[in-house]
Amino acid sequence: MEIYVYGTGCGAGDLIDSALPLEKVTAFVDSRPMSDSFLGRPVILPEELARRRYDLILVTSRQAEAITLHCESLGIDPNKLFFLKNHAALADRNRCYETAEQVLGADFVEKLCSSQRLIRTPLWSEGEPLPASELEGDYVRLKTLEALCRELDGIPGAAAELGVYKGGFARCINQLLPERTLYLFDTFEGFDPQEAAGYGEGFVSAHRNTAAEQVLSALPHPGMAVLRPGLFPASAAGLEVSFALVSLDVDLEESTLAGLRWFLPRMSPGGYLLLHDYNSPRLPGVKAALRRYEAACGQRLHAVPLCDVNGTLVLSV
């Protein structure tokens, strides 16, 4: 097997120290080499690599975008590139993990993944990682959801989403927490017209375009879902459940406040509430609702803002 290591910096040194025996490396690759050898192995230019036979190229540099483009321009097979420095700020650039598994063996790739940065979320006791197609929507939001779900091992309680729309995020929760009941609260007919008065007709009518049955049929584990159709908080009447994970995504101030008031006292210690759109300039009512809730409690809540597309806030309870 012809295995190349792209990069001759700390990442490459760390890879050799922690996971990959030097004798498995045919050569190192660097577009601006400091020397023609590294750790006693030859260093070649990417142009030279393109002319050779290669089974796998382990990329240890963080310059994933530049390396992808450069390799593409040289005709290097993108399926043979295996990026070891993927992390939450980058999309997962690995087109296929199977190539690496075929060349190195599945156990070794697992070891590689855990000794390097986050390149593939390790499995945890409950669920399966999200597929790449799902992650394209909002990588940071969804990778954070994966990481939060892993932290829930041992924390009791159901999962819930208030504000489901077509069920995109609900589908991810259901996949990641297949053993937890998932309560889904929505009118499934869009916003309360009174509350949405003053918002554009495009925004309001687009959110009417959903149906509970469609949401249910798109879930990977529909048997774990419990639909609570209707206007919240009336739709929660009579339900006494504790929650480990809640997604609160109703866009508007009064409904967000109702969600905070209803869910937060029902959260299990160690659980998380994801407040979507907290930092969205389009929807200032979300942050206003949280500030009103905090003013009523007389304290700021523990929370971490995400740099995802719509500015989610993760409240930890």
Ligand X SMILES: C[S@@+](CC[C@H](N)C(=O)[O-])C[C@H]1O[C@@H](n2cnc3c(N)ncnc32)[C@H](O)[C@@H]1O
Contact residues: ligand X, CB under 6 A: 161, 163-166, 168-169, 185-187, 190-192, 207, 210, 231-232, 249-252, 255
CB of 275 to ligand X, least distance (A): 12
Task: Identify which of 46, 58, 68, 55 has the alpha carbon closest to the alpha carbon of residue 15.
Answer: 58
Smaller CB distance to ligand X: residue 13 or 233?
233
Q: How many CA atoms lie within 13 A of 182 on its CB side?
A: 27
CB of 177 to ligand X, least distance (A): 15
CB of 203 to ligand X, least distance (A): 9
Distances (CA, A) of 263 to 78, 160, 221: 46, 9, 23
CB of 123 to ligand X, least distance (A): 24
CB of 56 to ligand X, least distance (A): 37
Distances (CA, A) of 87 to 63, 139, 167, 190, 258: 12, 10, 26, 36, 35
CB of 316 to ligand X, least distance (A): 20
Which residue shows structure tokens 């598994």?
Answer: 101
Smaller CB distance to ligand X: residue 163 or 311?
163
Smaller CB distance to ligand X: residue 92 or 249?
249
Q: Rounded to whole angstroms, how far apart are CA atoms 242 and 271? A: 10
Smaller CB distance to ligand X: residue 97 or 199?
199
Q: Taking the mean position of all CA atoms in its chain, how far away is CA 226?
A: 24
Cite the DSSP H helix spans in 19-131.
Answer: 46-51, 64-74, 97-104, 106-115
Rounded to a whole number of angstroms, the distance between the first and last alpha carbons of the chain is 50
DSSP string, 111-163: HHHHHSSSSSPPP-SS--PPPHHHHTS-HHHHHHHHHHHHHTTT---EEEEE-
CB 100 within 8 A of CB 56: yes
The contacts of residue 283 (CB under 8 Å, 6+ apart) are: 251, 252, 277
* Pair of tokens at residue 20: 């990959």
* Pair of tokens at residue 143: 């990778």
CB of 163 to ligand X, least distance (A): 3
Smaller CB distance to ligand X: residue 46 or 259?
259
Smaller CB distance to ligand X: residue 22 or 226?
226
CB of 294 to ligand X, least distance (A): 20
Smaller CB distance to ligand X: residue 33 or 190?
190
Smaller CB distance to ligand X: residue 85 or 207?
207
